[in-house]
Amino acid sequence: MKLKSSTHNIIIGYLLWIFGFIGAHRFYYGKPITGTIYFFTLGLLGIGWLIDIFLITSMDRKADIKYTQGDIDYDISWLLLTFLGIFGVHRIYMGKWITGIIYLLTGGLLGVGYLYDYWTLNRQVNELNELKK
């Protein structure tokens, strides 16, 4: 039985946990609903954020099972989205040049597209990786 390779890196998970009060680590692990709740409540007033330091290991394992590894790296995509997403760099990295340039010229479609990508980036990367199999 062949073991599936890791799609998400636990170190990146902890790095994004630092920004957990805005839900970054929860979005990274494919939990957009709780990520949004954390975003609007500052990590459930910091309590959920602190508890999550112990839950990241489990979230990491579940993400590795759920998502497909391939040419597009989840970690790179998430780091680009988190730190340069408003400029569309993550979309250009994934080969979505047109929307990447549109994001660059419009500030991530005035932030709405940036937020949309937080909700859907894992799915986008997963779909691209499955297409290239």
Under 8 Å between Cβ of 126 and 67: yes
CA distances from 112 to 37, 42, 63 (A): 17, 19, 25
Question: For 1-22, what is each residue's pLDDT tens digit?
Answer: 344 578 999 999 999 999 777 8
| pLDDT tens per residue across span 28-47 | 999 999 999 999 999 999 99
Length of the chain: 133
For residue 128, give the 3-state DSSP assignment: helix
Tokens coding 31 = 């939990």
Q: What burial class does residue 110 get, using C-beta atoms within 10 Å of its C-beta: 0-12 exposed, 13-18 middle, 19+ buried?
A: exposed
Two structure tokens written together for 48 = 């959920």
Which H or E element spans position 83? Answer: helix 74-84
**Could you read off the pLDDT of 55-111 as tens digits, one per residue?**
999 999 999 999 999 999 999 999 999 999 999 999 999 999 999 999 999 999 999
